[in-house]
Amino acid sequence: MTRIAFVGEAMIELSIAGDEAKVGVAGDTLNAAIYMHRTAPDLQIDYLTCTGDDPFSDRIRTFIEDQGIGTQAIRQIPGASPGLYAITTSPKGERDFTYWRSASAARQLFGDGNFDVLADYDAVSLSGISLAILPQTVRLGLLEWLKKAPVRMIYDSNYRPRLWEDMAIARQITAAYWDRADIALPSIDDEMALFNETETEVTARFAKRAGAGALKRGERGPISLGEVVHQSYPTAPKVIDTTAAGDSFNGGYLGALLSGASQAEALMAGHQLASAVVQHRGAIIPG
């Protein structure tokens, strides 16, 4: 059985409505893992992170297990706690996010410099958020381990400027991980912002890659990477919330591709799943 590890940070989510708050769990690579499991339930998908030993950490682990994702590789750190973010909505419906994650347990992931837990997997999926919360020494150590390891590496740069020390480091690390990635899942807007390139320049850069993947462009549909695919992508009839649109595309695409679908079929699976997700509120829609 194919085994895939998604690496990152699972956070407590507070969705604020008036004086009430709904508590949930979300995170970019976790969202992708859940949607991949829904697309390809026969694959073994685990989540790798660190949590604390508090009630909110227990909630996170229980949520992940309930979604059918393996938790055996999650490390519990006594006295630590998870990151948290709140979602508020303006009178016009615009969403705003406030984060408390500087002391998140996930920042201690691979803190001992040992990455051998990843050797148990056929593929490892990371994002720019996964890397941004880690110290530079860990990012570089993980990259060196991946260069020597016979695992497929999946990467989504998912650029969030506030998480990085500065843009120069973000560019350095992102470029290095793109060089190692076997499957690339960039978003056009993130790449334009990070590398100060036009859409045409980003597209040309990724067109030179030999590996598989997709350049995500929202409702316009993806550009195939590694193989020429010509097909049209229907737009969602309505868009309520774009949260996790890219994450769900990743999950749908990867689930199809690693289950034996063609590149064209995998691209369509990712786009159709993302189109369904944006018609609902929240990162994880009902299964």
CA distance 238 to 61: 33
The single residue of 28, 46, 241, 247 carrying the catalytic annotation is 247
Residues 6+ apart with CB under 8 A from 35: 244, 247, 248, 250, 251, 252, 255, 273, 277
> Does residue 58 have an active-site annotation?
no
Closest CA to 43 of 73, 87, 88, 6: 6
Question: Which amino acid is present at 84?
Answer: L
CA distance 228 to 214: 11
Question: Which amino acid is present at 47?
Answer: Y
Helix axes 188-195, 167-180, angle to 10 degrees: 130
- Residue that has been written with the tokens 């408390």 in this structure: 100
Helix axes 136-148, 167-180, angle to 10 degrees: 10
Hey, is 218 helix, strand or coil?
helix
Q: Are 9 and 129 in contact (CB under 8 A)?
A: yes
- What is the set of active-site residues? 247
